[in-house]
A = this chain, B = another copy of it.
Amino acid sequence: MRMASGKGTTSQSGPSGPPSVGQALRSGAALERAVLAVDVACFSLQDGKLDLLLVRRSDDPFAGAWALPGAAVGLDEPLDDAARRALVDRTGIGDAYLEQLYTFGEPGRDPRGRTVSVAYFAILRVRPEDLRTGRGVDAATWRPARDLLPLAFDHGRIAHYALWRLVQKMEHTPLGFHLLPEQFTLGDLRTLHETILDRRFDPSNFNRQALARWDLAPVPGQRDRRTRRPARLYRYIGARDVPGTPPDVSPVRSSK
């Protein structure tokens, strides 16, 4: 599990930009005018509904239309950084969990010319005060993730795929804990899963399985008082028997 590649692979041999850049790979010159962008499908849970973060575009094309927050990737900027920057600059959201989703590159997906977008998938426990209207957009807001209006570009398709992926990962990985506060009840955890997977769970069976699958530490003394009978509070420690994340790839390091 070494792999710090990237930098490591930088051999000494490189003059910083021979015109033969594409030559070896074949006609890279053809791409000089392509644009590389990132777009982020950011989910949160609010009032028991699954929400997706959208911005209203202020410029053409699609001025006035809703879209995923996105940005062009800087020449020396890692993709992960660009995704996080897009989120912060457009919406003020800064501490989401980020993960690369899929790369959309159909010619014609952007009327201005070839644009390849590396889509990211993000989730976070929302704090309303975090949301603001950032640079380059008219508005930023949360919208029901399962009932979206048409979006700019192919962002509807991206959002749809992101939602599908969220559901898949929720069943097998500890993803959901990013949507909960530090301390939560098993009822919170169950409601979360019911909302995202869109089905109900028997509380008894759900609790049994949750405690078997995740390492959850009961918080001594403390109880949750929102409900009739106060519920025990837990903290998430780890997971057992999880598929395991690929070496160095999938999850983007958490910022801050």
Name A's B-contacting residues (CB within 8 A): 1-19, 21-28, 30-37, 59-62, 70-81, 85, 89, 100, 102-103, 105-109, 111-116, 118, 135-136, 152-154, 156-157, 160-161, 164-165, 168, 174, 238-239, 242-243, 245-253
Contacts and interface: CB of A to CB of B under 8 A. Distances in A.
Per CB-CB distance, the 8 closest pairs between chain A and chain B, nearest first, are A14-B111, A28-B35, A6-B106, A22-B136, A4-B7, A24-B72, A5-B154, A18-B74
B247 A112 contact: no
A20 to B, nearest CB: 8
Contacts of A17: 33, 112-113
A25 B70 contact: yes
Contacts of A2: 251
14 contacts: A3-B160, A3-B250, A4-B253, A5-B157, A8-B253, A11-B62, A11-B76, A12-B81, A21-B113, A28-B72, A36-B116, A78-B106, A78-B107, A105-B118
A126 to B, nearest CB: 22
Given A25-B136, A31-B34, A102-B249, A157 B76 contact: no
Contact of A118 (B31, B103, B243): B103
How many identical subunits does the complex contain?
2
A78 B9 contact: yes
A30 B75 contact: yes
B243 A168 contact: yes
Contact of A35 (B22, B100, B111, B252): B22
A1 B239 contact: yes
A24 B100 CA distance: 21
Nearest to A103: B103
A1 B73 contact: no
A31 B35 contact: yes
Contacts of A100: 102-103
A105 B192 CA distance: 34
Given A71-B26, A72-B30, A79-B103, A164 B247 contact: yes
Given A22-B136, A25-B37, A34-B75, 15 more contacts: A1-B174, A3-B6, A3-B251, A5-B249, A6-B107, A13-B61, A18-B74, A22-B72, A23-B59, A28-B33, A28-B37, A28-B113, A30-B72, A32-B32, A164-B247
